Amino acid sequence: MPGLGGVVVERDLVVPARDGVMLATDVYHPAGDGPFPVLLERTPYDKSAPSRSECAAAVAQPRSRAEVAVYFVRHGYAVVYQDCRGRYKSGGRFTKYLSEAQDGYDTLAWLMQQSRCHGRSVGRLSRAMWRLAMMFAALVFAGAAAAQAVGSGNPVNDRLLSLPPVEQAKTIGKNVGHGCVGTTAFPMGVVNTAKWKGIAYWSLRCKDGRSFAIQIAPNAEIFVVDCQTLKSNGKECFKKF
């Protein structure tokens, strides 16, 4: 919807986390198609409330997040504010620090899918708890990027990592079968031992809510297990190792 002075504001968009929890998100961006570099803040303190950090000696009253966003949008950025899991308008249960890496990763992956957001150029607006939330996400996201850059020992896995997140999910879904239309794919890791060299593991969420764990060999052979089956055996999908 139109915002202030040519700034476009989209409030309470929902970003799906890998476990289906919806994360409430506000996006401010310039009018036009973009893409625009992104400034992201994930906060447990209400994405729509003024931040105490947005003040200065000459300006004692904290600026609203909207005012801060408008400033950066007028300098060519998209600004994204998100309530952390279990806080204010986001779903799920809040446990300090527990979900920040995964939720932050999923938010960055979502940003990369948005046509107006140049998701590969993401900065942070953060301090204290927000800085830690962003740091955890950045460490996980950087690990995936590093694996892509140096190669994982599995050419099929490397090709998947080179795709945008939405294409990863579609591609894996087509190969998994089971009537799965892939919506979210998550790289769990690659095993490189003498016995299991270059075996890549992914988790996949389908449009109908089902989830699968996928084992991908370097020769493109695929083994698929339903996540419910794994759970009954005390193991988890959507978890890096």
Identify the pLDDT of residue 38.
86
- pLDDT recorded at residue 13: 94
How many Cβ atoms from other residues are within 10 Å of residue 205's Cβ? 24
How would residue 55 be classed by pLDDT, with cut points 50, 70 and 90? low
Helix axes 165-176, 100-113, angle to 10 degrees: 100
Per-position b or e across 115-141, b if 16+ CB within 10 A of its CB: ebbbbeebebbbeebbeebbebbbebb
Over the stretch 211-223, which tens digit does the pLDDT of each residue have? 998 998 888 888 8
DSSP 8-state class, residue 158: H
Matching residue, tokens 């915002």: 3
Length of the chain: 241
What does the alpha-carbon distance between residue 140 and residue 159 come to, in Å, rounded to a whole number? 19
Q: Is residue 41 domain-resident?
A: yes
Residues 162 and 57 in one domain: no
Average pLDDT over all residues of the chain: 79
* 238 inside domain: no
Q: Is residue 102 part of a domain?
A: yes
What is the number of structural domains in the chain? Answer: 2
Of 148, 168, 201, the one marking the end of a domain is: 148
Q: Are residues 14 and 133 in the same domain?
A: yes
pLDDT computed for residue 4 by the predictor:
63
What is the distance between the alpha carbons of residues 31 and 8, in angstroms, rounded to a whole number? Answer: 6
Averaged over 31-39, what is the pLDDT? 84
Give tens-digit pLDDT for 161-203: 777 777 888 899 888 878 889 888 888 878 877 777 888 888 8
Q: What is the pLDDT of residues 128-148, one digit of tens each?
A: 444 545 554 554 455 455 444
Check pLDDT > 70 for residue 81: yes
Residues 116 and 64 in one domain: yes
The whole domain housing 167 covers 155-232
Give Rg (Cα) of the chain.
19
